[in-house]
């Protein structure tokens, strides 16, 4: 690898940028997927990196028609696409996972696959994204990482989009590591929107990650976000303009996920700025009136506690404009005071509880329900029970400095209190730490996490059984309707799918249905982090035995009687005796017209 510092150069491919000029370059972008504390990029998400990189190329003079974009899954599925890697004058790899995760929609690139990209490229190769922070053997908790060049000509140690821009302008000779500024990212975000059309999931099963800010005012020991510096914000018109451009290319699903704290958007990095949120959300709704998903991710609970009234106003603005099922991820990380102190965590368990309470009060209502504060509920069918508009999610991280057996008890007690006092959490994320150079956790590494693996496993199962399951039933009680569930895979005679959005519920549906379609689903049962559902509305005159027996209280005998005695003129004629009221999600259509 050539160090891409000041004055550095690297040999390019057969035809250098100097010889052909930027307008003659062929460029291939490979998306190996990213996952950061404030940034999703594994399908169905598309991160900002490929879009900004494409925009930077265009800004540097590369015609859009000479920019090819592939996901790592696309290369796996269609080996012929590797020809684009081989023949490109410039090949750019984007990737890196700085939080552990399990994924359904795609599989992040492995280090050996990334090396193969570098070996295949005959032109200049550049690698960037959060991969610059380090590479692990696997994307899992309780791991340590190290920086590796993976045999690329260049590694962008600053912003990869800035490196790409400057590398092209230099004739592929080199670049200075630097961070892009707000004006640049505002241009590149719009100029690179076209690349979404080359994503395999486009247009129906793709959600675009939106960046409102970068950096964090706080310095938690484990997190890579502070490595971007203090918060810097993109003005509302620039984000709205990006949404406008993406909508022009067919995107209807958006997640405002790339920020440490949505409530602090447009302010000083800590205090809320409701006016900026109103401009942002109102502007998005104006330029994309037909959007189908508008969700967010990170919200700092300490902001809500320190500035409760401004926070309440900001939360109300979000809930007015977003779509149901939204989640505000709270980085509690640990309810143990000792762990909080040793890792510079900024919120106590008591403060986080207060923040959970406030979000429930201001945004825990269901569209069309009795608590819906909006004057116009025309977007919702008042007879349909939907997910709440916005609920908190709790992040708990294990393996931090100072962790002890009592830490696990503190966390369980916090979660139990939330449930016992009647509040809702959309999801509980429990994971073990990943250690990266440049963070305070680099000295501790994964030692504590590895020592506590057995304890962690028992505790996680206990939380799933005692908290997750009853909490999920509270959030999505039987009869709750989940619209536009994308059917993704088959397993054990069932079809599984998810809505698009932040932390969507996994839905299991009886029978093997055609994949790639979307259907509405009514919830009938609950697991720890998933639900069982039946098509909504379920037609008694056409429903299968498996669908009928999925309804609580309907066993094999009752289902058999329903099938034998149909058709029915009405649901009442079936004389169903169930443990739930099925009238809201069961119907009868004339038998001869049933699908």
Please report whether residue 104 resides in a domain.
yes
Query: Between the CA of residue 351 and those of 48, 222, 329, 335, 347, what are the distances in Å?
Result: 32, 21, 15, 10, 6
Strand order in the sheet with 427-432: 326-333, 390-398, 427-432
* Domain end call among 475, 494, 519: 475
Question: Is the same domain home to 428 and 502?
Answer: no
Q: How far apart are the first and last CA of the chain?
A: 60
Question: Is the same domain home to 500 and 409?
Answer: no
Question: Is the same domain home to 26 and 108?
Answer: yes
Question: Is the same domain home to 347 and 398?
Answer: yes
Residue 405 belongs to a domain with what CATH number? 3.30.750.200
Query: CB-based contacts of 370: which residues, under 8 Å, 6+ apart?
Result: none
- Rounded to the nearest 5°, which phi and psi values hold at 288? -130, 65
Distance CA 427, CA 416 (A): 14
Quick one: CA dihedral 175, 177, 183, 185, positive or negative?
A: positive
Q: Is 547 exposed, middle or buried (0-12, 13-18, 19+ CB in 10 A)?
A: buried
For 93-251, where are the alpha helices, taking DSSP H only? 111-120, 160-169, 182-191, 236-248
Question: Is the same domain home to 401 and 458?
Answer: yes
Question: Is the same domain home to 553 and 466?
Answer: no
Per-residue pLDDT of the chain (595 residues; tens, 9 = 90+): 444 443 333 333 334 444 557 889 999 999 999 988 778 899 999 999 999 999 999 999 999 999 999 999 999 999 999 999 999 999 999 998 865 567 788 899 988 899 999 999 999 999 999 886 554 444 443 334 344 567 899 999 999 999 999 999 999 999 999 999 999 999 999 999 999 999 999 999 999 999 998 877 655 555 555 566 677 899 999 999 999 999 999 999 999 988 889 999 998 878 999 999 999 999 999 999 999 999 998 899 999 999 999 999 999 999 999 999 999 999 899 999 999 998 888 899 999 999 999 999 999 999 988 889 885 645 544 567 899 999 999 999 988 889 899 999 999 999 999 999 999 999 999 988 754 455 454 555 567 778 888 888 999 999 999 999 999 999 999 999 999 999 999 999 999 999 999 989 999 999 999 999 999 999 999 998 899 999 999 999 999 999 999 998 888 998 999 999 999 999 989 888 887 788 878 899 876 544 4
Query: Between the CA of residue 470 and those of 57, 389, 529, what are the distances in Å?
Result: 50, 19, 10
Residue 516 belongs to a domain with what CATH number? 2.40.50.140
* Domain end call among 459, 475, 491: 475
Please report whether residue 247 resides in a domain.
no
Question: Is the same domain home to 552 and 426?
Answer: no
Please report whether residue 337 resides in a domain.
yes
Question: Is the same domain home to 462 and 520?
Answer: no
Q: What residues pair up with 489 in beta bridges, in sequence order?
A: 496
Domain span including residue 391: 211-228+294-370+385-475
* Domain end call among 475, 492, 521: 475
DSSP conformation class of 465: I
Q: How many residues does the chain have?
A: 595
Please report whether residue 276 resides in a domain.
no
Distance CA 576, CA 588 (A): 13
Question: Is the same domain home to 451 and 313?
Answer: yes
Half-sphere exposure of 147 (CA within 13 A, CB side): 14
Question: In the chain, helix, strand, coil percent, each to 5?
Answer: 35, 20, 40
Closest CA to 68 of 48, 46, 85: 85
Q: State the pLDDT at residue 478.
A: 92
Distance CA 312, CA 550 (A): 40
| Contact present, 25 and 90 (Cβ < 8 Å) | yes
Number of Cβ within a 10 Å radius of residue 417: 15
Please report whether residue 332 resides in a domain.
yes
The two structure tokens encoding residue 572: 């009442």
- Rounded to the nearest 5°, which phi and psi values hold at 77? -75, -35
Number of domains in the chain: 3
Q: State the pLDDT at residue 319.
A: 98
Question: Is the same domain home to 471 and 556?
Answer: no
Q: What is the bridge-based pairing of β-strands 232-233 and 253-258? A: unpaired
DSSP 35-93: EETTEE-STTEE-HHHHHHHHHHHHTT--GGGEEEEEHHHHHH-GGGHHHHHH-SEEEE
DSSP 352-380: HHHHHHHHHHHH---TTSTT---S--TTS
Closest CA to 153 of 64, 92, 112: 92
Strand locations in 129-252, DSSP E? Answer: 143-144, 154-155, 207-211, 213-214, 232-233
Closest CA to 479 of 409, 349, 584, 406: 584
Query: CB-based contacts of 328: which residues, under 8 Å, 6+ apart?
Result: 262, 296, 297, 298, 299, 315, 359, 390, 391, 392, 393
User: Is the model's pTM score more than 0.75?
Assistant: yes
Residue 36 belongs to a domain with what CATH number? 3.40.50
Distance CA 566, CA 397 (A): 53
Question: Is the same domain home to 353 and 427?
Answer: yes
Q: Is the peptide bond before 44 cis (omega within 30 degrees of 0)?
A: yes
In which residue are the tokens 């000779």 written?
173
Please report whether residue 259 resides in a domain.
no
Distance CA 267, CA 499 (A): 32
Please report whether residue 275 resides in a domain.
no
Please report whether residue 380 resides in a domain.
no
Question: Is the same domain home to 496 and 566?
Answer: yes
Q: What angle do CA 560, 520, 292 make, to 5 degrees?
A: 180
């Amino acid at each position: 690898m050539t160090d891409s510092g000041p004055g550095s150069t690297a040999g390019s491919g057969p035809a250098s940028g100097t010889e052909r000029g930027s307008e003659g370059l062929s460029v291939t972008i490979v998306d190996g997927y990213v996952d950061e504390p404030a940034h999703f990029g594994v399908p169905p998400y598309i991160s900002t990196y490929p879009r900004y990189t494409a925009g930077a190329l265009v800004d540097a003079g590369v015609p859009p028609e000479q920019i090819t974009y592939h996901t790592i899954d696309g290369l796996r599925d269609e080996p012929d696409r590797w020809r684009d890697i081989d023949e490109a004058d410039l090949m750019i790899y984007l990737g890196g996972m700085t939080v552990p995760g399990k994924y359904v929609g795609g599989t992040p690139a492995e280090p050996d696959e990334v090396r193969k990209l570098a070996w295949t490229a005959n032109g200049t190769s550049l690698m960037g994204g959060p991969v610059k922070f380090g590479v692990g053997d696997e994307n899992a908790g309780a791991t340590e990482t190290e920086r590796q060049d993976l045999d690329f000509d260049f590694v962008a140690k600053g912003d990869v989009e800035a490196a790409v821009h400057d590398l092209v302008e230099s004739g592929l000779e080199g670049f200075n590591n630097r961070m892009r500024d707000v004006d640049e990212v505002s241009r590149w975000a719009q100029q690179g929107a076209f690349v979404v059309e080359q994503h395999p999931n486009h247009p129906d099963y793709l959600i675009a990650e939106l960046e409102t800010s970068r950096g964090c005012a706080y310095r938690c020991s484990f997190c890579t976000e502070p490595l971007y510096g203090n918060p810097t914000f993109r003005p509302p018109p620039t984000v709205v303009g990006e949404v406008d451009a993406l909508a022009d290319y067919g995107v209807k699903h958006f997640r405002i996920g790339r920020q440490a704290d949505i409530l602090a958007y447009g302010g000083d990095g800590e205090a809320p700025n409701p006016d900026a949120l109103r401009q942002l959300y109102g502007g998005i709704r104006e330029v994309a009136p037909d959007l189908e998903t508008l969700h967010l991710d990170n919200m700092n609970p300490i902001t809500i506690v320190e500035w409760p009234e401004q926070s309440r106003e900001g939360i109300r603005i979000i809930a007015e404009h977003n779509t149901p099922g939204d989640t505000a991820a709270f980085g509690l990380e640990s309810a143990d005071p000792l762990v909080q102190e040793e890792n510079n965590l900024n919120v106590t368990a008591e403060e986080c509880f207060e923040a959970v309470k406030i979000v429930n009060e201001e945004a825990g209502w269901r569209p069309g329900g009795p608590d819906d504060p909006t004057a116009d509920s025309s977007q919702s069918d008042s007879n349909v029970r939907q997910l709440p508009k916005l609920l908190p999610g709790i992040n708990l991280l294990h393996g931090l400095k100072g962790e002890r057996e009592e830490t696990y008890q503190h966390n369980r007690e916090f979660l139990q209190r939330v449930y016992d006092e009647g509040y809702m959490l959309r999801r509980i994320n429990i994971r073990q730490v990943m250690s990266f150079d440049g963070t305070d956790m680099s000295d501790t590494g994964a030692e504590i996490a590895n020592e506590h693996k057995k304890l962690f496993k028992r505790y996680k199962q206990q939380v799933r059984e005692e908290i997750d399951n009853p909490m999920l039933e509270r959030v999505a009680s039987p009869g709750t309707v989940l619209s536009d569930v994308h059917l993704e895979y088959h397993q054990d005679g069932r079809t599984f799918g998810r809505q698009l959005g932040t932390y969507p519920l996994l839905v299991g549906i009886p029978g093997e249905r055609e994949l790639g379609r979307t259907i509405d689903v009514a919830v009938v049962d609950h697991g720890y982090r998933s639900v069982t559902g039946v098509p909504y509305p379920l037609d008694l005159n056409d429903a299968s035995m498996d669908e009928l027996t999925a309804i609580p209280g309907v066993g094999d005998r009752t289902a058999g009687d329903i099938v034998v005695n149909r058709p029915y003129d009405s649901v009442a004629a079936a004389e169903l005796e169930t443990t739930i009221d099925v009238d809201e999600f069961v119907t009868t259509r004339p038998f001869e017209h049933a699908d």
